[in-house]
């Protein structure tokens, strides 16, 4: 099985171990795979790519037949990603709390559970929690090439985060 990375786990360094062990239906053609809740260790979001405390819970890796990967990402109040782009885009499904997202040059948008953010290829953006609330979202990305789901950029400053 090729190496794979969880979208948003994105740490591009932290998750290289996350590919082994599972026999994927798409690869065997014989059976479904159930990855049990709790089987996969959570990953702390790297301070290189995030501000504040962020936890990434891997959900599923990409494989040779299905090139998306998914993870659940939880941001503590005030925590957010760096600015970044996705080479094949990204879908975010807000699952709890109150969050914020912003495209470069546009106003901050507040997001809530059930909201779905579809981020096109190459659009510079960030996402994270609101100042006084945590936020969790499921992140789904496709790999452009093995392991490549995000291109990291500079940090979101406090001024940018506060919309000033
Ligand atoms: Mn993103």
pTM of the model: 0.84
Asked if 137 and 73 touch (Cβ cutoff 8 Å), the reply is yes
Chain-centre distance for alpha carbon 135: 13
| Rounded Cα–Cα distance for residues 103 and 33 (Å) | 36
Neighbours of ion ligand 1 (CB under 5 A): 90
Q: How many angstroms does the Cα of residue 30 sit away from the middle of ligand 1?
A: 34
Q: CA–CA distance from 133 to each of 109, 110, 137 (Å)?
A: 15, 11, 13
* Domains within the chain, CATH numbers bracketed: 42-161 (2.60.120.10)
Tens-level pLDDT at each residue, the chain (164 residues): 333 344 544 433 333 334 444 555 555 567 889 999 999 999 999 999 999 999 999 999 998 888 999 999 999 999 999 999 999 999 999 999 999 999 999 999 999 999 999 999 999 999 999 999 999 999 999 998 888 899 999 999 999 999 98
Element (H, E) at 80: strand 80-81
Q: How many angstroms does the Cα of residue 125 sit away from the middle of ligand 1?
A: 6
């Amino acid at each position: 099985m090729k190496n794979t990375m969880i979208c948003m786990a994105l740490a591009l360094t932290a998750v290289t171990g996350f590919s082994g062990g599972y026999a994927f239906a798409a690869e065997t053609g014989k059976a479904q795979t159930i990855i049990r809740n709790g089987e996969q260790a959570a990953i702390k979001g790297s301070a290189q790519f995030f501000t504040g405390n962020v936890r990434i819970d891997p959900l599923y890796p990409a494989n040779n037949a299905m090139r998306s990967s998914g993870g659940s990402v939880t941001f503590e109040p005030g925590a957010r990603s760096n600015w970044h782009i996705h080479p094949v885009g990204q879908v975010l499904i807000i699952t709890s709390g109150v969050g914020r997202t912003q495209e470069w040059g546009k106003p901050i948008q507040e997001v809530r559970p059930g909201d779905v953010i579809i981020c096109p290829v190459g659009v510079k953006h960030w996402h994270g929690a609101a100042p006084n609330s945590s936020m969790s979202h499921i992140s789904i990305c496709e790999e452009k090439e093995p392991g490549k789901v995000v291109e990291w950029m500079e940090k979101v400053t406090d001024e940018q985060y506060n919309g000033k």
